[in-house]
Chain A
């Protein structure tokens, strides 16, 4: 008796993107405009008062960006989403909606280095205090909870690659203590892992990576799972208290199970301003149409390359959960049976010098600080992103002198293996 739900691949192409109402254009148009005319004065008042659905100004919302928002909300199985200028902006607006000065949140230690910096330094200016926990030990999250804890944050597949987080175990702790559980799903993408099905309340993305997938556009998304009831919860005044900006409206009551996404838009994006450009939204949308095909190929290629490296005489270890011998292999089978993603690290017997030589000698892999491109990418963290850290700090961050990180692209896997072989021979 219910309307049949379409499959993931169909959603990746169609969700949010009906033909354009004004022109019939079938591809989503790039609405490269700052502003939108009002139908009349009363309509303008309704839009500003959040009483009608519609477009005002592209810092707050834009029809190209809203197609991207609905697309990702549908792929993740959420109630609504908000597109923003970057993954960092997605994290920032998420915490801005949940935290007040003096509040705390608990984050997994294994995270993208940029997120670690953001939490350790930038957020201190707002009085938002990060407390670190060990994603390999879910009980460490429970031990870190205090009355000021407002959120728990992890990555589903964690940086620097090769780490699968037990989402259900941490979600159970979050639920028991009534704390919103935020999952950064950038590395997995909803094709490999759908965190709402494992108890997440909010998902953030750097769309720059696998959603866009072609290394051409920076962007971010916040997805509301609709599962956390903020109404009447005094710990979250942005959602549960009358907002003076909107005549005393209570957002969690007015917008129900997509109130979080609306609050992030009308209190966060509106006032802080990290809006996504419609052109970037268009390119990311184009990327998402092939997300299922690309993620499968990324994962299949990565497994082939990881298996090859694991047997290479110059390689001391490979950390990829797709490998049967990997410590995260069972979690990978549970959470991402289709594949363990594109990104992983390995160690060189020759240490720091061998790492520097390897990146210099590669001809197909690009030496740069990104992941999730069609092209295969390589970085030697100890000589680049982590070079300012002490040796001990490098090792703790999973960026010891011998560590190389790969983001495997969509090329022929034989070509990738040959490129690595010739570079390793010379290293």
Chain B
């Protein structure tokens, strides 16, 4: 893949949160399985509902977290009131709240045992202090990105919408799952 030169983060250098390498994002989306989505909405017109549905369809175990609708079911999944209430380990915490709220939510995530591997703040959400606290504990952080857009970009699905994926490849995309309109993350 032409524009995907290997670019590991040199040891000791902080992640540039304005400019994530594709390999960094792909590595996260390939490795996490359980995603706690904080700020999940029951309204199908809201981006958090759409992202929850999309990630569930891609095989992630999405656990909705929202104190306002705790105990209800969202897209067939039980909604929890806080991260601490979620039973079992969480691989990734996805924060669908504003940048300020991302601070205390990051601290809630850092109080989990075991710790999550990734804290991901949604498009338009960025909190550098919280990110530094998480990275100090060895947690990977993504800010101001949407996992649906990133999955769509890296797989090639987003190109069907005329979006500039900023990906060039002489390898064909990989069909994923049944049907024709889902693509996988990993090209040959």
Please report A residues at the B interface, Cβ cutoff 8 Å. 1-6, 10-11, 14-16, 18-22, 24, 36-40, 43, 46-47, 49-55, 61, 63, 65-67, 69-70, 73-74, 78-83, 242, 246-250, 253-254, 256, 258, 261-262, 265
Contact = CB atoms under 8 A, between A and B. Distances in A.
B160 A53 contact: yes
A18 B169 contact: yes
Given A24-B172, A51-B54, A3 B164 contact: no
A405 B4 CA distance: 46
11 contacts: A1-B19, A5-B166, A15-B164, A21-B174, A39-B178, A43-B179, A55-B160, A61-B161, A70-B162, A74-B166, A78-B164
A2 B45 contact: no
Given A2-B7, A70-B163, A78-B164, 15 more contacts: A14-B170, A18-B172, A22-B175, A22-B180, A39-B182, A53-B158, A53-B181, A54-B181, A70-B164, A74-B164, A247-B44, A254-B47, A258-B163, A261-B162, A262-B161
Interface in B101-131: 123-124
Contacts of A38: 179, 181
Given A1-B9, A39-B178, A39-B182, A70 B159 contact: yes
A3 B3 contact: yes
B136 interface: no
B44 to A, nearest CB: 6
Contact of A2 (B19, B163, B181, B182): B19
Contact of A3 (B5, B44, B183): B5
A239 to B, nearest CB: 14
Nearest to A70: B159
Given A5-B3, A70-B163, A253-B47, A55 B181 contact: yes
B78 to A, nearest CB: 20
A80 B21 contact: no
B73 interface: no
B162 A69 contact: yes
Contact of B172 (A20, A46, A65): A20
5 closest residue pairs by CB, A with B:
A39-B179, A69-B162, A19-B172, A73-B164, A54-B181
A253 B171 CA distance: 33
Contacts of B170: 14, 18-19
Contact of A6 (B2, B7, B57, B157): B2
A36 B180 CA distance: 9
Chain B, interface size category, equals 35 or more
A282 to B, nearest CB: 16
A61 B162 contact: yes
Tell which of A37, A39, A246 has the most Cβ of chain B within 10 Å.
Answer: A39
B182 A18 contact: no
A83 B181 contact: no
B158 to A, nearest CB: 5
A248 B50 CA distance: 13
Nearest to B14: A1
Interface in B134-165: 146, 149, 152, 156-165
A66 B180 contact: no
A47 B54 CA distance: 11
B161 A14 contact: no
B169 to A, nearest CB: 5
B162 A52 contact: no
B7 A3 contact: yes
A51 B7 contact: no
Contacts of A79: 163-164
Interface string B3-36: 1110101100100100101100000000000000
Contact of B16 (A2, A39, A50): A2
B156 A18 contact: yes
Contacts of A256: 123-124, 146, 149
A52 B156 CA distance: 13
Nearest to A80: B163
Contacts of A253: 47
A20 to B, nearest CB: 7
A231 to B, nearest CB: 8
Given A2-B16, A2-B19, A14-B168, A46 B53 contact: yes
B81 interface: no
B2 A53 contact: no
Contacts of B124: 256
A83 B171 CA distance: 25
Interface in B43-89: 43-45, 47, 50, 53-54, 57
B18 to A, nearest CB: 9
A187 B26 CA distance: 39
Contacts of A20: 172
A53 B157 contact: yes
A155 to B, nearest CB: 23
B125 to A, nearest CB: 12
A328 B4 CA distance: 41
A242 B47 CA distance: 12
A401 to B, nearest CB: 44
B75 to A, nearest CB: 11
Given A1-B19, A6-B3, A10-B2, A254 B163 contact: no
Contacts of A49: 44
A268 to B, nearest CB: 13
